[in-house]
Amino acid sequence: MTPNPILLFFLIHLSLFTHVPRAAAAGGQWALLKQNIGIVAMHMQLLRNDRVVIFDRTDFGLSNISLPNGQCRNDPNDTALQTDCSAHSVEYDVATNSIRPLTVLTDVWCSSGSVAPDGRLVQTGGFNDGDHVVRIYRPCSDCDWDEIKSGLTRRRWYATNQILPDGRQIIIGGRKEFNYEFYPKTNSDSKAFSLRFLVDTNDPTIENNLYPFVFLNVDGNLFIFVNNRAILFDYVKDVVVRNYPTMPDQNPRNNPSAGSGVLLPLKNLQGGEIGAEVLVCGGAPKGSYTSAMNGTFVGALNTCGRIKITDPKPRWVMETMPLARVMGDMVLLPNRDVLIINGASAGTAGWEVGRDPVLKPIIYRPDNLIGSRFEVQNPSDVPRMYHSTAVLLRDGRILVGGSNPHINYKFTGNRFPTELRLEAFSPSYLDSGSHNLRPKIISPASSAKLGYQQRIAVRFTVTSTVNGNLVSVTMVAPSFNTHSFSMNQRLLVLGGGNVTTLGKSTYEIGVVTPGSGNLAPPGYYMLFVVHQEIPSEGIWVQIQ
């Protein structure tokens, strides 16, 4: 058939005016680290010894890895196996790419946690016989869990933890718990305190107020986002300081609607007034959970809301992602970008109610102009649905695991089998073509102890010519990741541009550490030198 010349002319000219979004670019590489780690990576926390504590739940039945030395867990309250000789927690050693089984006794399903200033993981709550338990994990070569049976005042299941400026942690919410408490306890705060905001944001029969998005603001108060609303909360005086506008589309973003939220990098720390912004992305539209329970899987949200929480008149600015996503995770990268990864494009969080996995991550560049902030990355071939996780490693990779969208371990006969594989996503800044631009930190030494408002000189090498105006130093807190939210995730830009040449390929940049615990709660952070958006491998530093 001879082509119609008029139609051909029209199609050619139409193609010239078709907008190709900048998000069409792709980058990053995937690597399979372990074919089978024995358990589902439902919760993950990186520690200062470059080992990652991973756990799922004790009432899943037998896992694929045995407890050490022939041990067994005997629990008359367990709903699956009262005697279980398999592990439900492991330690992943990044350096050796190896797994060590750990012994957790009570149920940690849907729990929370954060790292104390001394580097211990303080993990709280869970399900069944674990809902009042506090568990301590010390970072050492042969350590295991210590459990405090009645460490919590109230049942904490789907709660959120935040490290405070004094090093304590506040534990907020949980299923049918409209209150908060502190750990460790003191005489003045040994009880739980009511938080009416959690009642007001609870959708009857659905909830949508689980795992609140909690961030420590630069003034020491807490920004708490639940469902589609947010407050600034003074936990010292137990009062709401301000109410923020409702998300414009009115859609819920917390579990089980399962969007994700992040405090964007804090900059200008030595300036007169420090601004703070929060980004909330994805989730399931209102009514999705009920629809999914009835067999209809509604498409996920493709929007993000961004708000400057320190602004006198804050407002949400809405942006459109190139891919809709529910059950995604947001990870702060050392170069100040945000990675959005994992999840599905339809359905909601819960058993068997997610559909259409989103295999392509997205990079969000917060400093770009609106409309040019998103970039689609290369896909994995492993669906990461309900109960997936992602955390930043010190070498700049993202550790990705989990996915168990049904009750118990199920490997066959399911749309999405229980997933025991562990992967790493390497952003494009780790490409071999960037090697000559990548800094290597010489000093300070790793595990250096730093004070607040302390001037430090960071020495580094770069094999190619350095553009001193494009060098900065960032500091990232390791986060506790579960259920689409990374607790205590925080990135601070310590400074940039002040670069001195010391010799061939050797340089020094002077920066000042944050001024108080309001900006950087005490504890361990990964410190990076970033050159032309390419980060060094990080070093551990302790702020105290």
Using one digit for the tens of pLDDT, what is the confidence trace for 236-277? 999 999 999 999 999 999 999 999 999 999 999 987 789 999
User: So what's the pLDDT on residue 8?
Assistant: 35
Instruction: Sort strands 362-364 and 374-376 into parallel, antiparallel or unpaired.
Output: antiparallel
Q: Which two tokens stand for residue 207?
A: 């909830």
Range scoring the smallest mean pLDDT among 12-16, 102-106, 410-414, 528-532: 12-16
User: So what's the pLDDT on residue 273?
Assistant: 85
Per-residue pLDDT reduced to its tens digit, 516-526: 999 999 999 99
Q: What is the mean pLDDT of residues 132-158?
A: 97
- Kindly state the percentage of the chain with pLDDT values over 70: 95
Per-residue pLDDT reduced to its tens digit, 69-91: 899 999 998 889 999 999 999 99
User: So what's the pLDDT on residue 304?
Assistant: 98
Whether 499 shows a pLDDT value over 60: the answer reads yes
User: So what's the pLDDT on residue 7?
Assistant: 35
Most confident of 11-20, 74-83, 298-307: 298-307
Q: What is the mean pLDDT of residues 317-338?
A: 98
Whether 11 shows a pLDDT value over 50: the answer reads no
Q: Which two tokens stand for residue 95?
A: 């350096």
- Which one-letter DSSP state was computed for residue 255? B
User: So what's the pLDDT on residue 77?
Assistant: 87
Cα distance between residue 538 and residue 544, in whole Å? 19
In this structure, are residues 244 and 272 in contact, taking their beta carbons and an 8 Å threshold? Answer: no
Q: What is the pTM of this model?
A: 0.94
Domains of the chain: 29-430 (2.130.10.80), 433-543 (2.60.40.10)
Closest by Cα among 459, 470, 530, 525 to 497: 470
Whether 322 shows a pLDDT value over 90: the answer reads yes
Cα distance between residue 467 and residue 397, in whole Å? 24
Instruction: Sort strands 329-332 and 338-341 into parallel, antiparallel or unpaired.
Output: antiparallel
Classify residue 225 as left (phi > 0), alpha (psi -120 to 50) or beta: beta
